[in-house]
């Protein structure tokens, strides 16, 4: 069976181009994720991996659709190979049934990982420049009544309420709640 895997990083992105490619490749079954590819914790990806059987071919638009780092990519390909499943990436023209295809897969996987790292580095540099120019100050702190916060923390520390209840009372999420507790040394 020809199995297509399509992934867009966000809900706002459109997968239509990839779907057209899958139709042109005569994919008989499609799995579509709208989530980041930075790891393999994707619902449709997992479903596809569980679905494929020996003799199937997994088709993707590009290797960046299935994995964003070399380790994940090679692990995925190894799992597919162990199941007797072929892998085809249209953009890079890779077919894992050949030694050259397996070699090229490794090279392109490393390039995809480098590209992601470069994107993150440029993002960090941009934020540093914006901070230096006074244009970026991060998220605005969540406004909390300090006296109420201290009173709720005291009840929490005394075991009168749970941490979850304390967070609900002051309207904070766990990370922010615990950071505030630490800042105020409560």
Q: Which residues of 147-164 are buried (b: 16+ CB within 10 A; e: fewer)?
A: eebeebbeebeeeebeee
9 among known catalytic residues: yes
2-8 and 57-60 as β-strands: parallel, antiparallel, unpaired? parallel
- Using CA atoms, how far apart are residues 32 and 21, in angstroms rounded to an integer? 13
Cα 130 from chain centroid (whole Å): 26
Torsion of CA 32, 78, 100, 96, to 10 degrees: -40
Which member of 9, 64, 75, 165 is catalytic? 9
Which of 17, 32, 37 has its CA nearest to residue 90?
17
Q: How far apart are CA 149 and CA 186, in angstroms?
A: 10
> Which residues are designated catalytic?
9
């Amino acid at each position: 069976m020809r199995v297509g895997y399509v992934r867009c990083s966000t809900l706002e992105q459109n997968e239509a181009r990839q779907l057209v490619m899958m139709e042109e490749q005569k994919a008989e079954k499609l799995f579509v994720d709208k989530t980041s590819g930075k790891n393999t914790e994707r619902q449709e990806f997992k479903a596809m991996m569980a679905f494929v059987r020996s003799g199937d071919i997994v088709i993707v638009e590009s290797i960046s659709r299935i994995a964003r780092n070399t380790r994940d990519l090679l692990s995925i390909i190894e799992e597919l190979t162990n199941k007797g499943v072929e892998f085809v990436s249209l953009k890079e023209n890779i077919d894992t049934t050949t030694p050259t295809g397996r070699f090229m897969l490794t090279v392109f996987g490393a390039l995809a990982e480098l590209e992601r790292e470069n994107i993150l580095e440029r993002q960090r540099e941009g934020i540093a420049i914006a901070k230096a120019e006074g244009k970026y100050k991060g998220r605005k702190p969540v406004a909390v009544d300090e006296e109420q916060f201290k009173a709720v923390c005291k009840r929490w520390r005394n075991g009168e309420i749970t941490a979850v209840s304390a967070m609900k009372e002051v309207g904070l999420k766990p990370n922010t709640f615990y950071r505030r507790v630490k800042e105020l040394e409560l």
